[in-house]
Amino acid sequence: MSKLSNTMIMLVLLRAKQQMKIGEIAEILEVNNRMVQIYRDDLEKAGIIIESKPGRYGGYSLPKTYDSLLNLNLNPEEVMALNMAYKQLEESGLIYANELSVAYNKLMASLQVNKHYQGDVNDYQFVSKSSPAALSNNQEREHCKKIHASLIQKKQIHINYYSLLNDEHQERTVSPYALYEYRNSLYLTGFCHLRQEIRDFKISRIKSLATTDDYFVMPSDFSLKDYMTNCLGIFKDTTQKVVLKIRHPMSQIIREKIWSDNQVITDIPNEKAILFEAHLQGEIEIISWILSMGSDVEVIEPTDLKDKIREKLEKMIKNF
């Protein structure tokens, strides 16, 4: 066994048996007493305190007031980061919000009794303003559990899926590759055997899901990050070069975020404006994004994108 393996086994033993003599631990790990003391020192360096009680009935033990793995020497900035992440996930409509809340409260309770941390973990307010999913029900939770299991076991799934484009429910067999979150909704990426290509499926649109007995082999070169390359959102089509002239105040808003890994933003001299250039795909979302800038944006190229936005605006005007 490696030093790391023995250290972790020692931690598990103490958690299970509550208190053990150094000799007992050494015998199980097949090392001498000195090595057990070294393991203890390594754990304490990692912020996991091991208590030592001398005497006939003594030995090593974990503190009873908090979980051993939560006895971490967290500083105020790390606690703040946890609080912010928890709020963002909680208010996004996460389907595992209850489990997240239990885990978060355990962590916070541990910090309150951890002698290494000083201060109130709730001494400030943070709110995450978002639009959570309308439905975060138990069915979606169960779908995610089955998909997660299928991802691990490399088993195909059979789903009844509502296609927004065709406005109908369809039977699909999918080899699941990955799960991801986008705008507070969960999606499955996988190989669709009906369409014979990689597709994305919104979990909330899956009416039923069953794991099959058929296995699949994940392509060795598949990367979710590469699959999403140049996507402004999650829609995928032909990549096109988009050049926009964006005026103030929208120019400031645009420069505050990274919209694409390949974006180039150039200041326009003598104007409170920028030139935004990027190779993007997902035309539906590109058009929606440009329209959200109102009169502060001008499409320089491509020309056909400008024409499509003009057509959409003309249709919108008729509605008013």
Q: Report pLDDT digits (tens) over 246-278.
A: 999 999 999 999 999 999 999 999 999 999 999
Q: Which whole number is the average pLDDT over 275-303? A: 97
Give the global pTM.
Answer: 0.69
Can you name the CATH fold of 239-318?
Alpha-Beta Plaits (3.30.70)
Count of Cβ atoms closer than 10 Å to residue 181 Cβ: 12
For range 104-124, the mean pLDDT: 57
Residue 13 · residue 28 · CB < 8 Å: yes
Q: Which CATH architecture fits 143-221?
A: Roll (2.30)
Q: Where are the domains of the chain?
A: 3-61, 76-120, 143-221, 239-318
Question: Which one, of 135, 158, 160, lies nearest residue 147 by Cα?
Answer: 158
For residue 96, the 8-state DSSP code is T
Look at residue 254 and give its three-state secondary structure.
helix
DSSP code of 4? H
State residue 160's pLDDT score.
Answer: 97
The domain at 3-61 falls in which architecture?
Answer: Orthogonal Bundle (1.10)
Quote the pLDDT of residue 72: 58
Least-confidence region, from 62-76, 258-272, 285-299, 303-317: 62-76
Cα–Cα nearest to 190, from 164, 211, 168: 211
Mean pLDDT within 306-316? 95
Q: Cα(194)–Cα(203) distance, rounded to whole angstroms?
A: 18
Adjacent-strand bridge partners of 168: 163
In the chain, the percentage of residues whose pLDDT exceeds 70 is 87
